[in-house]
């Protein structure tokens, strides 16, 4: 019996020494220590021995059993540390290594310009608001002193939306951002200082026009507002957006919703404002930016503002056009902005 136990111990040890993974260790445990394992069977035999012998052999058998368990436990720990070591090796990473940056997109040139324009005006207290980009005829024309069938409307080559009319007329794709004027006056009492940037639409397409473009509209209403204030704000913007040395000029013009009305020019960034006509870009020192003027009393009235108490100015310019007049941009066809050509877009 003792011999059998010795044999079993040797067998156990030799199998154990060849165990290299958990599955094999588990199989070994079942084969030797399990319910029908070799050691269990042997222990059963011990039970049938004569008293005296059973004591001594039983003691030895127990030692063997304990030895098995100890050896098993040791192997188990060994495998455990080895496996976690291997896992660590496999999953090792150097957290001090600089990361690989994902490819990032960026805002479109026009969006960048809009953010910049908003920021420039916010510094002098112009709050950013948003009027609808599809709006009623009333806000786009009628309330701006352009009654139905007025020929001045022809200047805005408007897309009308094929929807039932309301009391405020037809729906149109806004051809300018001036619809924000009366809309805002209906909502807030003066003093008003707002900037509205939005998409605008006109039926036109060539190297300087696209059917969808953007405008920014400024409106300031307060007591005692004069043209000098308008000029000051425009000069401030020109300096902030175009940089030092550029000047603005107001040229008399006509809009139904401002009186007096102006076209705003900026001195040419290429020739520095050479009025001799020698510059190929501006042919006279100035580039046209957009419209402006003192808000017409009828427009104030339409917005519920008393023109005998308040006055104000408004201006509305194209974002793309303003952008193209920036030095160094050199875009000679406005349509390239929206062609989705990455070679162009990623330059900015």
| Binding residues for ligand PHE restricted to 120-179, rule: CB under 6 A | 176, 178
Which of 273, 285, 293, 312 forms a contact with ligand PHE (CB under 6 A)?
293
- The answer to whether the CB of 57 falls within 8 A of the CB of 49 is yes
- Are 235 and 248 spatial neighbours (Cβ–Cβ below 8 Å)? yes
x-or-dash string of contact with ligand PHE, 213-232, rule CB under 6 A: ----x---------------
Among 255, 279, 303, 320, binds ligand PHE (CB under 6 A): 255
Nearer to ligand PHE, 9 or 322 (CB): 322
Segment near ligand PHE (CB under 6 A); pick from 183-191, 281-289, 310-318, 328-336:
310-318
**DSSP secondary structure letter of residue 81:** H
Output 143 or 178, the one with its CB closest to ligand PHE.
Answer: 178
Which residue lies nearer to ligand PHE by CB, 16 or 314?
Answer: 314
Nearer to ligand PHE, 118 or 274 (CB): 118
Which range in 8-16, 57-65, 86-94, 284-292 contacts ligand PHE by CB under 6 A? 284-292
314 is an interface residue for ligand PHE by CB under 6 A? yes
In whole angstroms, how close is the CB of 277 to ligand PHE at the nearest point? Answer: 26
Smaller CB distance to ligand PHE: residue 217 or 320?
217
| Alpha-carbon gap, residue 94 to 217, rounded angstroms | 53
CA gap 126, 123 in Å, rounded:
7
Please say whether the beta carbons of 165 and 180 come within 8 A.
Answer: no
Instruction: Determine the Cα–Cα distance for residues 12 and 77; give it in Å rounded to an integer.
Output: 18
Report the C-alpha gap between 136 and 173 in whole angstroms: 9
Q: How many residues bind to ligand PHE according to rule CB under 6 A?
A: 12
* Closest alpha carbon to 297 in 261, 262, 263, 259: 259
Give strand pairing partners of 161: 171
Strands 258-267 and 286-295, bridge-based pairing: antiparallel
- What's the min distance (Å) between Cβ of 313 and ligand PHE? 8
Could you say whether residue 190 binds ligand PHE (CB under 6 A)?
no
- What gap in Å lies between CA 65 and CA 75, rounded to an integer? 15
Name the minimum Å distance from CB 246 to ligand PHE.
20
Nearest-approach distance from CB 289 to ligand PHE, in angstroms: 10
- Of the residues 174, 179, 258, 311, which one makes contact with ligand PHE according to CB under 6 A: 258
SS3 135: strand
Q: Which is nearer to ligand PHE, 160 or 348 (CB)?
A: 160
CB of 315: closest distance to ligand PHE in angstroms?
5
Residue 307 has φ and ψ, to the nearest 5°, of -70, -15
Task: Tell me, rounded to whole angstroms, the distance of Cα 276 from its chain centroid.
Answer: 46
Give CA–CA dist 165/187, Å, rounded: 23
Residue ranges binding ligand PHE (CB under 6 A): 176, 178, 217, 255, 258, 290-293, 314-316
């Amino acid at each position: 019996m003792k011999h059998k136990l010795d044999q079993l111990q040797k067998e156990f040890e030799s199998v154990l020494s060849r165990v290299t993974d958990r599955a094999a260790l588990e199989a070994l445990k079942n084969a030797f220590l399990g319910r029908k394992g070799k050691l269990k069977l042997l222990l059963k035999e011990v039970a049938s021995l004569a008293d005296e012998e059973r004591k001594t052999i039983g003691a030895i058998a127990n030692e063997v059993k304990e030895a098995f368990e100890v050896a098993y436990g040791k192997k188990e720990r060994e495998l455990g540390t080895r496996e976690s070591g291997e896992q660590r090796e496999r999953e090792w990473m150097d957290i001090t290594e600089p990361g690989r940056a994902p490819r990032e997109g960026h805002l479109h040139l026009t969006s960048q310009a809009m953010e910049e324009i908003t920021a420039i005006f916010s510094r002098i207290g112009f709050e950013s608001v948003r009027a609808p980009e599809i709006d009623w005829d009333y806000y786009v024309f009628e309330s701006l002193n352009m009654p139905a069938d007025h020929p001045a409307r022809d200047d805005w080559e408007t897309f009308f939306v094929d929807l039932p009319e309301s009391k405020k007329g037809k729906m149109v794709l806004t051809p300018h951002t001036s619809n924000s004027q009366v809309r805002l006056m209906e909502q807030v009492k003066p003093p008003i200082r707002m900037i509205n940037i939005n998409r605008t639409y006109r039926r036109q397409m060539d190297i300087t026009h696209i059917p969808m473009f953007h405008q920014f509209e400024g409106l300031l209403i307060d007591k005692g507002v004069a043209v000098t204030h308008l000029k000051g704000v425009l000069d401030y913007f020109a300096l902030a957006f175009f940089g030092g040395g550029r000047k603005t000029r107001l040229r008399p013009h006509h809009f139904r919703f401002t009186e007096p009305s102006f076209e705003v020019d900026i001195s040419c960034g290429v020739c520095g404002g050479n009025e001799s006509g020698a510059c190929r870009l501006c042919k006279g020192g100035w580039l046209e930016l957009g419209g402006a003027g003192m808000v017409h009393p009828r427009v104030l009235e339409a917005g519920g503002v008393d023109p005998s108490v308040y006055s104000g100015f408004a201006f509305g310019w194209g974002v793309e056009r303003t952008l193209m007049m920036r030095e160094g941009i050199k875009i000679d066809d406005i349509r390239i902005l929206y062609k989705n050509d990455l070679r162009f877009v990623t330059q900015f």
